[in-house]
C-alpha cells in the first residue's frame, strides 16, 4: 500500500507516538490539574511539557500562550468567534479551507463584514489586492499558510505586515505547514496561530492548538467553551487567566502525549531535512505528472513555494474513477474531490469536479512515487 | 518547630512550570494538594523549605512564572 493522503492526516504514525499514548494512560492516568495526587500531577506534567515543547518548536516565549484544542478547526473557531463582533471587518483569501471559511460565513450572517481577496490560478496571493482590501476599519486578516488543495505557500510575512500596518490582527491557519516547514513565531509576528497535531506534526487525531501572540489581550477573546478547569473551583465564573480561560473540561491527555512524541520524532529528524525531502518528492511528482499526456497539474509547479501536495485532473476521466482505481488496482491511497475547500477549487478552476490530490509524507519513498506515476499513466491511458 | 513555605498559583500549568524550574536548581520542593486553609485558584501548590524563600521567589520571578501568593506554614 502507498499512502499519499498525508494532507488529510499523516500515516503511518511513528511507533514512538503510539507507544507514548499507551504509556501516558498506564503511568499518568489521572485528570491533569484536578486533583493533587500523584497520577493527577503526573498527567499535568505531561500536558505542561507538551505545551513547553510546542512553544519552543514555534519559538513562542511564553508557553502559557499555547492553548490546546481538538484540532486546527476548533482553534480557528475559538479565534474567530472569540474575537470578532458585529461590524468588524475581516479580510481573507479565496484559497481557504472551510475550517476558516465556514465560521467566517456564519459570522458574516451575524454582522461582520467579510472581504475575500481573489488569488491567482496557481493559488498564489495578490499582495496588492490584499493591501487594497485592508483598511483602518479591518479588525482581522485571516488566512491559510499553504493551500490544502495545491500546496502553494502564501506570502504570510508580507500579509501579516499589511495587517499590522493597518492596526489589524493576523490569524494564520497552519494546518498544512506546522511540522512541514520551519515556522518561527518570534520573527513572524502572527497574533493567532492555529495548528493541528495529526498532520505533519505526526501526532494522533483529536489534538491541536491556538497560539496567542504577545500583542493579543487575553480579555479580547471570549472562550468557545466554558466549564471546569481545576482552578478557581469556588467560582461559578470562568477564570480569566491563561491557559485555563480557553481550556475547559478534561483535556485529551492521550492526544497530547502522542503530539509530544510526534514533535520529538520530527525534531530528531530535523525540520530542514524533512522539508527538503518533501520538496524533492513533490517536485518529482509534478515533473512526472506533467509528462503524462492529458493531465493538468494545478497550482504552483515550483515545489520550493509549495508544501507536499499536488493536485491534478485528466481530461475525459472523472477524478473519482482515478481515485478508486488507484486504490483498488494499485493500493495507492489519494483523495479526490473538493477537499473541503470550494473557494480554492473555484480559484484554480477545478470547481465543481475537483481534483486528484497526492500528498506524500515523511515516510514516502521515491520508489513509491515511481510506482504511483506508473499507475496513473496506465489508468489515464486506458 | 520547623516552618515551610507554600507557593499558590492561578493555574496548574504554572505549578508544573515552577516545579521544573526549581528542581533544575536542586531545591527541595514538592507539589502538594493546595492546603484547604488557603483559598487558591489552583488545586496544586508547591511546598518548599522556608529557608529557601528568597531563592524560590527570585527564581520564579526570573522565569516570569505567575504566582498567586507565597505562604508560610508551621509543621
Predicted confidence (pLDDT) per residue in A179-215, tens digit: 999 999 999 999 999 999 999 999 999 999 999 999 9
A377 and A345 within one domain: yes
> What is the model's pTM?
0.95
- Single out the residue of A21, A32, A263, A258 nearest to residue B16, CA to CA: A32
* Total count of domains within chain A: 2
A283 and A195 within one domain: no
A305 and A217 within one domain: no
Kindly report the nearest CA distance between residue A69 and chain B, in angstroms.
16
A276 and A262 within one domain: no
The answer, yes or no, to whether residue B42 has pLDDT greater than 80, is no
- Are the C-beta atoms of residues A358 and A4 closer than 8 Å to each other? yes
Q: Structural domain of residue A323, as residue ranges?
A: 2-10+270-381
Q: Which of A239, A268, A297 is the last residue of a domain?
A: A268
A264 and A290 within one domain: no
A56 and A96 within one domain: yes
DSSP state of A1: -
Question: What is the structure's pLDDT at B40?
Answer: 63
In Å, the largest CA–CA distance within chain A is: 70
A96 and A145 within one domain: yes
* B 38-67 near A (Cβ less than 8 A): 39, 41-45, 64, 66
pLDDT tens, residue by residue, A312-357: 999 999 999 999 999 999 999 999 999 999 999 999 999 999 999 9
pLDDT tens, residue by residue, A137-155: 999 999 999 999 999 999 9
The answer, yes or no, to whether residue B43 has pLDDT greater than 90, is no
Q: Which residues of A touch B (CB under 8 A)?
A: 32-37, 40-41, 44-45, 47-49, 51-52, 62-64, 229-234, 239, 241-244
- A vs B: CB pairs below 8 A: 76
Interatomic CA distance for residues A207 and B7, integer angstroms = 31
Kindly report the nearest CA distance between residue B47 and chain A, in angstroms.
12
Question: What is the structure's pLDDT at B63?
Answer: 94
Question: What is the structure's pLDDT at B1?
Answer: 59
A55 and A180 within one domain: yes
A309 and A201 within one domain: no
Give the model's confidence band at B73: pLDDT under 50 very low, under 70 low, under 90 confident, else very high.
Answer: confident
Mean pLDDT for A42-66 is 97
- Single out the residue of A297, A333, A298, A295 nearest to residue A316, CA to CA: A295
ipTM: 0.87
Interatomic CA distance for residues A361 and A203, integer angstroms = 13
The phi, psi pair for A157, rounded to 5°, reads -60, -50
Q: What CATH number should be reported for the domain holding residue A116?
A: 3.40.640.10
Q: What CATH number should be reported for the domain holding residue A287?
A: 3.90.1150.10
A167: left (phi over 0), alpha (psi -120 to 50) or beta: left
Q: Which of A243, A268, A293 is the last residue of a domain?
A: A268
DSSP state of A219: G
A227 and A374 within one domain: no
pLDDT tens, residue by residue, A232-277: 777 899 999 999 999 999 999 999 999 999 999 999 999 999 999 9
Q: Which of A212, A247, A268 is the last residue of a domain?
A: A268
The answer, yes or no, to whether residue B2 has pLDDT greater than 80, is no
- Single out the residue of A10, A9, A12, A50 nearest to residue A32, CA to CA: A50
Q: Is B7 on the interface with A (CB under 8 A)?
A: no
A183 and A164 within one domain: yes
- Are the C-beta atoms of residues A181 and A161 closer than 8 Å to each other? no
A340 catalytic? Reply is: yes
A285 and A205 within one domain: no
Whole-Å CA distances, A311 to A236, A298, A348, A368: 51, 6, 10, 17
Q: How many CB atoms lie within 10 A of CB A237?
A: 7
Amino acid at each position: 500500500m502507498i499512502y499519499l493522503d498525508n494532507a488529510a492526516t499523516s500515516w503511518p504514525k511513528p511507533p514512538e507516538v503510539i507507544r507514548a499514548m499507551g504509556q501516558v494512560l498506564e503511568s499518568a492516568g489521572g485528570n491533569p490539574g484536578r486533583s493533587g495526587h500523584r497520577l493527577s500531577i503526573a498527567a499535568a506534567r505531561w500536558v505542561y511539557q507538551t505545551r513547553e515543547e510546542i512553544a519552543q518548536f514555534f519559538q513562542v516565549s511564553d508557553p502559557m500562550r499555547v492553548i490546546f484544542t481538538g484540532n486546527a478547526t476548533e482553534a480557528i473557531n475559538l479565534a474567530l468567534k472569540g474575537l470578532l463582533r458585529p461590524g468588524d471587518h475581516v479580510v481573507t483569501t479565496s484559497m481557504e479551507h472551510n475550517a476558516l471559511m465556514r465560521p467566517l460565513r456564519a459570522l458574516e450572517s451575524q454582522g461582520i463584514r467579510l472581504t475575500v481577496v481573489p488569488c491567482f490560478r496557481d493559488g498564489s496571493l495578490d499582495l496588492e489586492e490584499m493591501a487594497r482590501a485592508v483598511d483602518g476599519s479591518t479588525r482581522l486578516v485571516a488566512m491559510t499558510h499553504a493551500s490544502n488543495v495545491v500546496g502553494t505557500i502564501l506570502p504570510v510575512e508580507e500579509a501579516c505586515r499589511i495587517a499590522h500596518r493597518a492596526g489589524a490582527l493576523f490569524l494564520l491557519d497552519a494546518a498544512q505547514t506546522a511540522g512541514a516547514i520551519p515556522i518561527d513565531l518570534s520573527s513572524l509576528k502572527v497574533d493567532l496561530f492555529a495548528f493541528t497535531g495529526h498532520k505533519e506534526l505526526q501526532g494522533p487525531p483529536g489534538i491541536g492548538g491556538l497560539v496567542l501572540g504577545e500583542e493579543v489581550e487575553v480579555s479580547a477573546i471570549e472562550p468557545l467553551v466554558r466549564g471546569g478547569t481545576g482552578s478557581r473551583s469556588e467560582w461559578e465564573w470562568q477564570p480569566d487567566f491563561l491557559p485555563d480561560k480557553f481550556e475547559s473540561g478534561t483535556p485529551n491527555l492521550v492526544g497530547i502525549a502522542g503530539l509530544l512524541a510526534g514533535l520529538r520524532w520530527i525534531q530528531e529528524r530535523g525540520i530542514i531535512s524533512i522539508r527538503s525531502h518533501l520538496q524533492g518528492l513533490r517536485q518529482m511528482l509534478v515533473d512526472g505528472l506533467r509528462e503524462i499526456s492529458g493531465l493538468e497539474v494545478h497550482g504552483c509547479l515550483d515545489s520550493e513555494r509549495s508544501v507536499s501536495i499536488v493536485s491534478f485532473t485528466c481530461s475525459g476521466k472523472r477524478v473519482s474513477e482515478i481515485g478508486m482505481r488507484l486504490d483498488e488496482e494499485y493500493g495507492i491511497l489519494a483523495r479526490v474531490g473538493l477537499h473541503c475547500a470550494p473557494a480554492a477549487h473555484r480559484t484554480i478552476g477545478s470547481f465543481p469536479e475537483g481534483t486528484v490530490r497526492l500528498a506524500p509524507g515523511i515516510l514516502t519513498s521515491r520508489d513509491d512515487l515511481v510506482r504511483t506515476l506508473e499507475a496513473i499513466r496506465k489508468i489515464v491511458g486506458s | 518547630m520547623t516552618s515551610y513555605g507554600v507557593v499558590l498559583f492561578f493555574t496548574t500549568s504554572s505549578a508544573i512550570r515552577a516545579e521544573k524550574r526549581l528542581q533544575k536548581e536542586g531545591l527541595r520542593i514538592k507539589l502538594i494538594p493546595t492546603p484547604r486553609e488557603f483559598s487558591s485558584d489552583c488545586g496544586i501548590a508547591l511546598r518548599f523549605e522556608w529557608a529557601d524563600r528568597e531563592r524560590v521567589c527570585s527564581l520564579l520571578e526570573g522565569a516570569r512564572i505567575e504566582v498567586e501568593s507565597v505562604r508560610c506554614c508551621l509543621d
